[in-house]
């Protein structure tokens, strides 16, 4: 396991975090609480110290499950608990709300669901264009000063939005989508974080399972699974992405004697992401984590990967399909 530091957090941060969106069930075809708790405990046993969740993941379900799992496991002072704020919902319809009023309501709801008295990393889930960034930032600064949170974060913010936020509060973390197939933020958001000592949490590191090597042309996605709305999982794009997966898988096996999963996460880390999120809801989905450590991609390796990506996916599709409405529109 590799470790790093998150500004203002006095704990070791594992460079892989457990992402718990799928554990909440919503947009992933349901959840099994007992299995989810076993998955969280497995992650902690493997040395993962960062757990990332959000209120909107299952409309409170993910936070509640994480809270139960951590209560059973103990060792709270060794675990970095990251959650989010600023997405409200009515009848499972999502809208952005990062107003001071909403933030002060959500922090209490999250603390209760998580069964803790503070949160290590508190992140604004999506920028709310109807609330002044100064209002959002000052509200989080109040929570920081009160001790209810240890670090201030944002997620899905552009460089310009981060700069505006920083006029009113310190910024310790930015969570951004980043993986082999969704890498357009490398020269902007990630570069800014690296230059200004803002820790970066990369979500979607395995591109919703596409980079596990387990997806097939006939793979079926059930219920409200978000991959049913991801253009990458629809033809004619899906076949191209699967062909690229095959090429990357061959490279990982022949050159590094590693799995595609190991290559995908190693690439994210070696590009400069502080902590890569690994989404899982079954303990066995974590078994490949140990294959990430003890090796790195050098500049020639990175060029070779880049050549495959450019050749196979000349026009990559981003993660924009996941974004909730930009303005605070109640259903």
| Three-state DSSP state, 173 | strand
Q: Which of 200, 111, 110 is nearest to 156 (CA)?
A: 200
Active site residue: 57, 95, 192, 238, which one?
Answer: 57
Q: State residue 30's pLDDT score.
A: 57
Q: Beta-carbon neighbour count of residue 227 at 10 Å?
A: 20
Q: Which of 74, 2, 29 is nearest to 282 (CA)?
A: 29
Residue 203 is among the residues annotated as catalytic for this protein = no
Q: State residue 227's pLDDT score.
A: 87
Render pLDDT for 134-163 as a digit per residue (tens, 0 to 9).
Answer: 999 999 999 999 999 999 999 999 999 999
Render pLDDT for 229-273 as a digit per residue (tens, 0 to 9).
Answer: 899 999 999 999 999 999 999 999 999 999 999 999 999 999 999
Q: State residue 226's pLDDT score.
A: 79
pTM for the whole structure: 0.94
Q: What token pair was written down for 23?
A: 């554990």
Instruction: Give me the phi and psi of 140, to 5 degrees please.
Output: -70, -35
Per-residue pLDDT of the chain (331 residues; tens, 9 = 90+): 999 999 999 999 999 999 998 887 555 455 688 999 999 999 999 999 999 999 998 889 999 999 999 999 999 999 999 999 999 988 778 899 999 999 999 999 999 999 999 999 999 999 999 999 999 999 999 999 999 999 999 999 999 999 999 999 999 999 999 999 999 999 999 999 999 999 999 999 999 899 998 889 888 887 777 788 899 999 999 999 999 999 999 999 999 999 999 999 999 999 999 999 999 889 999 999 999 999 999 999 999 999 999 999 999 999 988 888 877 666 5
SS3 assignment for 258-320: CCHHHHHHHHHHHCCCCEEEEECCCHHHHHHHHHHCCCCCCHHHHHHHHHHHHHHCCCCCCCH
Determine the Cα–Cα distance for residues 54 and 224; give it in Å rounded to an integer.
18
Q: State residue 330's pLDDT score.
A: 61
The structural domains of the chain, ordered by start, are 1-209+268-293 (3.20.20.100)
β-pair type (13-14, 3-4): antiparallel
């Amino acid at each position: 396991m590799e470790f790093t530091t998150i500004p203002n957090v006095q704990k070791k941060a594992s460079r892989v975090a457990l992402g718990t969106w799928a554990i909440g069930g919503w947009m992933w075809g349901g959840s099994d609480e007992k299995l989810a708790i076993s998955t969280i405990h497995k992650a902690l046993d493997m040395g993962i110290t960062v757990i990332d969740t959000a209120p909107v993941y299952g409309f409170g379900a993910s936070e509640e499950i994480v809270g139960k799992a951590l209560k059973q496991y103990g060792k709270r002072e060794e675990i970095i608990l990251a959650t989010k704020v600023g997405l409200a919902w009515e009848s499972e319809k999502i809208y952005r709300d990062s107003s001071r009023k909403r933030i002060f309501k959500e922090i209490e709801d999250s603390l209760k669901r998580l069964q803790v008295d503070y949160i290590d990393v508190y992140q604004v889930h999506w920028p709310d264009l109807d609330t002044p960034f100064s209002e959002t930032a000052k509200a989080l600064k109040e929570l920081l000063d009160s001790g209810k949170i240890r670090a201030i974060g944002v997620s899905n913010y552009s460089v310009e939005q981060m700069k505006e936020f920083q006029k009113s509060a310190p910024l310790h973390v930015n969570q951004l989508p980043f993986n082999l197939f969704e890498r357009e933020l490398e020269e902007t958001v990630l570069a800014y974080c690296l230059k200004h000592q803002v820790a970066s949490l990369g979500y979607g590191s395995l591109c919703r399972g596409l980079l596990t090597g387990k997806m097939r042309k006939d793979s079926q996605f059930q219920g409200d699974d978000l991959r049913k709305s991801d253009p990458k999982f629809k033809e004619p794009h899906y076949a191209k992405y699967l062909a690229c997966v095959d090429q990357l898988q061959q490279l990982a096996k022949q050159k590094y004697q590693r799995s595609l999963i190991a290559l995908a996460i190693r690439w994210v880390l070696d590009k400069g992401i502080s902590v890569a999120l690994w989404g899982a809801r079954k303990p066995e989905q974590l078994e490949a984590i140990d294959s990430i450590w003890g090796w790195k991609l050098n500049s020639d390796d990175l060029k070779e990967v880049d050549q495959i990506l450019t050749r196979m996916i000349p026009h990559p599709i981003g993660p924009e399909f996941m974004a909730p409405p930009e303005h605070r529109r109640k259903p």
